[in-house]
Amino acid sequence: LSVLPVADRRELKIYPLTENQRARQITLATLPAELSDIKLVTGQSGQELLVWAAPEQHSAFAELLKQLDQPLTNPAIVPKSYSLKVQSAATVTTLLTAEFPTVQLTVNTAGDELTVLASPDQHARIAERIAEFNAELPSKPELLVESYAVDGMTAVALQQALLPLLGTAQTTLDSQGERLLVRADAETHAELHQMATALGAKPAAGRQKVVLAYPLEHAAATNVKLLLDQIVRDATVLADDKLRQVVVTGSLETQAQVKAAIDQIDRTGTVRQAAEIRSYDAGQLTASALLTTLQAMWPNMQLTVDGVSNQVVASGTPEEHEQLEAAFEQLTMAPGGDAQLAKTYSVPFGEMSTLPSVLKQLAPRALISSDPVSRTVTVWATPPQQKLVEQALEALNQTARDAQQPATYMVKPTQVLAIQTSLRTLFPAAVSTSDPTTGQLVVVASQDVQSRIASVVEMLSNGAGADEATTKVFTFDPKQVELSNILVALKSTIPAQVRLESNPANHTLLAIGSAEDLERVSEQVQRLIEQMPSPDTMSSVVYPLRHANP
């Protein structure tokens, strides 16, 4: 019997666990040596413990559980609010989080109250810190409430016009009194007052808009409106086909342009005279050589050459034949006097039917013919007369170009939509388009309006809502630099916050970022260009491939 194994004396017991014992249950993972061979199994829902052990081990384990059933000592965590008088509440939360990493901080929307969840000891130290912050850090600017109103503008329109300058200011509309109430600091109010004064300034007497009605005798009112919309940009035109009139709203200067245009449009059309056929002897000249020049001067005539008799056969009206006959007299007359030249001028603007008669007054001895289809004028005259005609056409084109001209403004990409909305409210006659990606704003208006737009854009760009981002354009020589290659090289060397946009049409690269980042981009661009070989040293070689795919 002595060689038989000892009978197993272990037995199973169930121990219910209190809340304190469950909180400290993790300590049972490491047991004393005399309890190292017992088996522990967690019971239902973690509320009990099943133990397989010997009787003396059960006694020791029960004593161990009794020691674990001690009250837990946790510090009380209480919330408390503190008043903030600093300009930046984020600075306070950053400093407190660094010093008290275990506390929870919350700042209200206005940034003037801080709620802290911490122990009483921590609250005492935090109260001292907040008192120091309120005394040492920059204080929050005082917010003032002022009202704004501009004659001729609704409160909603005024709010849209001032939107780029409002920033974080609080606004309220008074629709009955047409007032805009703004709560902001003194600096913001100064900028708003400056803008409101500019909005309320009365235009010059010549720029004030008046309403005039123009009766029509021959042209249709709808057709006249379509033409006026293309000729005059800063006017509002309404067509009344029933009363045969157009009503125009615009300045006195604009009304003068409209009156001149209507006088040209509303005229009786001329009836083309019956065509006649005549022949002209070229004399010492070759008729076939003259045909191209003569046909360009009189495009409405049909000209052919009789090579046997060296004559030009022409079909046209009697008036055209008179002009052609006078031209042949000058061509076939004896040599002497100044040489005459035939030149063709392009006329982008103006009335083609009346232009020859106007030029005739400047060069009465010149032969002038116009082609409305190609918008060209052919002049046969001496060099001095050609010079007069050329100067007159240049003055006409320059006057037309000055009427409406485009201008490009570069603003912050984050401001472009707000500035464009303000410009459309202030200058409804101006036509504008924008690119939110690059911050480019293109405006078509007269020179006077462009100067006012430039001052408004500058004021809005430097307002309270402006950010620190800016733009810079780099132009490259397409013979020396491949735009896609330099774009890839720059993206790997410049800061990640800089945005690059390429335009293959004009071989330019637009960079968007802070002034410091753009300075680094300029240095990288200059360094890349210096490292590239000269175009004179580069050559092109063609390599044929037999098997590989290019």
Number of H helices, E strands in the chain: 16, 24
Least Cα distance to 412 among 499, 472, 471 occurs for: 471
- What is the per-residue pLDDT for 537? 56
Task: Name the least confident of 134-148, 254-268, 402-416.
Answer: 402-416
Given a cut of 70, is residue 3 above it in pLDDT? no
- What is the per-residue pLDDT for 546? 64
Measuring CA to CA, how many Å separate 221 from each of 227, 242, 268, 429? 10, 9, 15, 21
How much is the average pLDDT of 78-101? 88
Paired tokens of 182: 């703004």
Mean pLDDT taken over the chain: 80
Length of the chain: 550
Q: pLDDT tens across 186-239, in order?
A: 888 888 888 888 877 766 655 667 888 899 888 888 888 888 888 887 788 999
Paired tokens of 178: 């047409």
Backbone angles phi, psi at 548, to 5 degrees: -70, 155
Q: pLDDT tens across 25-57, in order?
A: 888 888 888 888 889 888 877 788 889 999 999
Torsion region of 167: left, alpha or beta (phi above 0 gives left; psi -120 to 50 gives alpha): left
Given a cut of 50, is residue 273 above it in pLDDT? yes
What are the extents of the domains in the chain?
A: 11-68, 78-136, 144-200, 208-265, 468-533
Whether domain 468-533 has CATH 3.40.718.10: the reply is no
Rounded CA separation 152/171 (Å): 20
Topology classification of domain 208-265: Ribosomal Protein S8; Chain: A, domain 1 (3.30.1370)
More confident residue, 479 or 249: 249
Q: pLDDT tens across 9-33, in order?
A: 788 898 988 888 887 888 888 888 8
Given a cut of 70, is residue 469 above it in pLDDT? no
Topology classification of domain 11-68: Ribosomal Protein S8; Chain: A, domain 1 (3.30.1370)
Q: Is the pTM of this model over 0.85?
A: no
How much is the average pLDDT of 468-485? 72
What single-letter DSSP state applies at residue 195?
Answer: H
Orientation angle between helical segments 447-461 and 416-426, nearest 10 degrees: 140
Q: What is the 3-state secondary structure (H, E, C) of 320-346?
A: HHHHHHHHHHHHHCCCCCCCCEEEEEE
The CATH classification of domain 144-200, taken from the options 2.60.260.20, 3.30.1370.120, 3.30.479.30, 3.90.1300.10: 3.30.1370.120
How much is the average pLDDT of 498-502? 76
- What is the per-residue pLDDT for 1? 41
Rounded CA separation 42/308 (Å): 127
Q: In this prediction, what percent of the chain has a pLDDT beyond 70?
A: 86
Based on the number of CB atoms within 10 Å of its own CB, is 393 exposed (0-12), middle (13-18) or buried (19 or more)?
buried
End-to-end CA distance of the chain: 94
Cβ atoms of residues 31 and 38 within 8 Å = yes
Rounded CA separation 494/475 (Å): 18
Q: pLDDT tens across 510-550, in order?
A: 777 777 778 888 888 888 877 776 655 555 555 666 665 55
- What is the per-residue pLDDT for 334? 44
Topology classification of domain 78-136: Ribosomal Protein S8; Chain: A, domain 1 (3.30.1370)
| Number of other CB atoms surrounding residue 263 within 10 Å | 10
Domains 78-136 and 208-265 in one fold: yes
